[in-house]
Structure 1
Amino acid sequence: MYLFITQLSLFDIILSTDILPNLLHITLYDGCTMSLAGCIIQFSFFAHAEASECFLLTVMSYDRYLAICKPLHYNSIINQSICIKLVILIWLLGFKMTLVNSISLCSLYYCGPNIIYHFFCDYLQILELSCADTSWIHIQTYLVGLICVIAPFMIIVISYICIVITILKIKSITGRKKAFTTCSSHLTVVCIFYGTLIAVYMFPTKGQLDILSKVLSLFYTVMTPLLNPIIYTFRNKDFKKAIEKIKS
């Protein structure tokens, strides 16, 4: 689990480094200028971090499923070799999905407006700058979203349904509490990350909901990387001892 949390921290660092400096510049100077190539590069790093985090959260949910639902088989299924292979697969899948979208953006012809009303170069905002027909790219986007977001989310939901059923079968209250705390941190991160991610791309982005879309985007680009370390350190014994020393 700590190996997966390390990877989660790396994706959060990539996301924060990609988004925050430009966001601070926009806030201080009421906008900024960026080349088209720079915009696509920013999107590529953003997309890689987000897609990889979707796959990582799915693997972490499967890890929690095995730990709670099949504890006797856990050590035989999840070992160091398997974990390293899963991490490599996550990075490769995230890179492959990002590469597909980035190549599509580079193949378009841009001659229209050159202003993005957002605090970072998101996929749909870049598409609006193109003068070419982007209908085929929207279909491609749905397919990529199905692989990167919907399929992982469904696996997470199924995993937690099995986890909840297993926890409810535990007779002792102490056993239920212990089993629930095992996956509480991961469940909190999943709710924040997927809740805002799905909300942004399900709500319309025109008119008065533009501001709402930007606010929700802040959650999965800025707030989630900020909250993840805090959420996962709440159950860390050394962290609790440090807090107790500060209070005393």
Structure 2
Amino acid sequence: METEGGSNQTRVTEFVFLGFSGVPTGQTFLFLLFLAIYLVTLAGNSAILVLIQTDSHLRSPMYFFLSHLSCLDLCYSSVTLPKILVNLLRQRHTISYNQCMAQMFFLMTCAGSECALLAVMAYDRYAAICEPLRYTQLMSKPVCVLLATASWIWGLLDSTLHTALTANLAFCGANQIHHIFCDVPPLLKIACSDTYVNEMALHAASVFVGLSPFLLVVVSYIYILSAILQIRSSTGRQKAFSTCASHMLVVAIYFGMANVNYNRPRAGYSLEVDTLISSLFCIVTPMLNPLIYSLRNREVKEALRKMLGGQKKERVSSHKPASSSPSRPVDDHFQNPLAKHKGHAGTDS
């Protein structure tokens, strides 16, 4: 800490995390656990990105947005886990003031962007199932790029506001954060200046950045469910429902954990419960998303099998005459993937 010139007030230059103070003898186990989670997160999301970029069957808006979700999850984990691993390894759970502000900024960017992106993905499912004849128009390439860009900007604006407000707070010697990484709520607890504006901004963000996208998801799935119930074929209903199953599961986990993490009681939770909830929301969720999509999605599983063990099959097909395998459209990335099924987009199983 540094003393401000001409006053007895000290300026905090370093914060101390207390999240793991309850397990002083289990640092090695925690290091191995979080390292395993980080490696699985990197491998799973990187595999999704590689598959979508290399497999010609994963050329639809649904997978375009899924690639952005995987990119967000990679950023999400990389914002918090490397610092946690370093602290566990050296058994000194500290972070500098500037690093804390930067960590909070990127964390809030990822959180706000993922909320918006999940709403965009719900709209894509609505367009594919409820508006199949206009799907290619509603989800054209320019529209998809615009929606993905807007999702990132949405989170960036939210994090800029919170970081600017938090940077203006004074921390008068209190530098112990009851958390495992820098986030807005735990920092507001230890600030010695008035946090009313910050708290109002946090409540406003929970409505506009969190609740609004969630309501858009709910409205989209109300229309989707109504359309699915009107399908006469049981196979068609199952196909239409399965294309939304993975996304609904991801939405339920993400928004559920976000609500518990940010809309906590004013008194807060115990340190152990707070640490567990934050770990589930910001660390475990990014690891689960690629697993959910890969296990529930037949096209992703087929692409993964092809990448891991399908080299022999590709060599055999390469000996066939060129005329036997008609070429795909040059710009098929934004075609309705199941137009032949009359609008039941997606092939999850």
Structure 1 window deviating more from structure 2 (157-166 vs 146-155): it is 157-166
Deviations 1:129-154 (A, max 9, x none): 21111112111111122111011011
Helix, strand or coil at the partner of 1:56: helix
> CA–CA distance in 2 between the matches of 1:99 and 1:225?
22
Asked if 1 retains the 8 angstrom alpha-carbon contact of 2:172 and 2:191, the reply is yes
Q: 1:73 aligns with which of 122, 129, 134?
A: 134
Q: Within the alignment, does 1:54 sit opposite 2:115 as a pair?
A: yes
Asked if 2 retains the 8 angstrom alpha-carbon contact of 1:205 and 1:213, the reply is no
Give the aligned length: 245
Q: Within the alignment, does 1:134 sit opposite 2:134 as a pair?
A: no
Asked if 2 retains the 8 angstrom alpha-carbon contact of 1:52 and 1:93, the reply is yes
Whichever residue aligns with residue 287 of structure 2, its letter is: L
> CA–CA distance in 2 between the matches of 1:224 and 1:217?
10
1:29 offset after TM fit, Å? 4.4
1:182 offset after TM fit, Å? 0.9
1:3 offset after TM fit, Å? 1.4
Query: Which structure is higher in helix share?
Result: 1
Q: 2:228 aligns with which of 151, 167, 171?
A: 167
Q: 1:25 aligns with which of 86, 90, 96?
A: 86
Aligned to 1:119: 180
> Normalising by structure 2, what TM-score?
0.66
Q: Within the alignment, does 1:228 sit opposite 2:228 as a pair?
A: no
In structure 2, the CA distance between the partners of 1:131 and 1:203, relative to structure 1 (3 Å rule), is closer
1:47 offset after TM fit, Å? 0.4
- Unmatched 5+ stretches in structure 1: none
Q: 1:15 aligns with which of 76, 98, 101?
A: 76
Aligned to 1:149: 210
Question: Quick check: which has more Rg, 1 or 2?
Answer: 2
Asked if 2 retains the 8 angstrom alpha-carbon contact of 1:203 and 1:213, the reply is no
Whichever residue aligns with residue 82 of structure 1, its letter is: V
> CA–CA distance in 2 between the matches of 1:203 and 1:177?
38
- Unmatched 5+ stretches in structure 2: 1-61, 311-349
Whichever residue aligns with residue 239 of structure 1, its letter is: L
> CA–CA distance in 1 between the matches of 2:292 and 2:260?
22
Q: 2:279 aligns with which of 203, 206, 218?
A: 218
Q: 1:93 aligns with which of 138, 154, 167?
A: 154
Aligned to 1:84: 145
> CA–CA distance in 1 between the matches of 2:87 and 2:265?
24
> CA–CA distance in 1 between the matches of 2:105 and 2:267?
24
Whichever residue aligns with residue 242 of structure 2, its letter is: T
Q: Within the alignment, does 1:178 sit opposite 2:239 as a pair?
A: yes
Helix, strand or coil at the partner of 1:111: coil
Q: For the aligned residues, what is the CA RMSD?
A: 1.9
> CA–CA distance in 1 between the matches of 2:150 and 2:235?
37
Q: Within the alignment, does 1:37 sit opposite 2:128 as a pair?
A: no
Asked if 2 retains the 8 angstrom alpha-carbon contact of 1:112 and 1:130, the reply is no
Whichever residue aligns with residue 140 of structure 1, its letter is: A
Q: 2:255 aligns with which of 165, 170, 194?
A: 194
In structure 2, the CA distance between the partners of 1:8 and 1:27, relative to structure 1 (3 Å rule), is same
> Normalising by structure 1, what TM-score?
0.92
Helix, strand or coil at the partner of 2:172: coil
Percent identity of paired positions between Structure 1 and Structure 2: 36
> CA–CA distance in 2 between the matches of 1:225 and 1:102?
23
Asked if 2 retains the 8 angstrom alpha-carbon contact of 1:40 and 1:102, the reply is yes
1:102 offset after TM fit, Å? 0.6
> CA–CA distance in 2 between the matches of 1:112 and 1:166?
59
Structure 1 window deviating more from structure 2 (59-68 vs 231-240): it is 231-240
> CA–CA distance in 2 between the matches of 1:209 and 1:179?
43
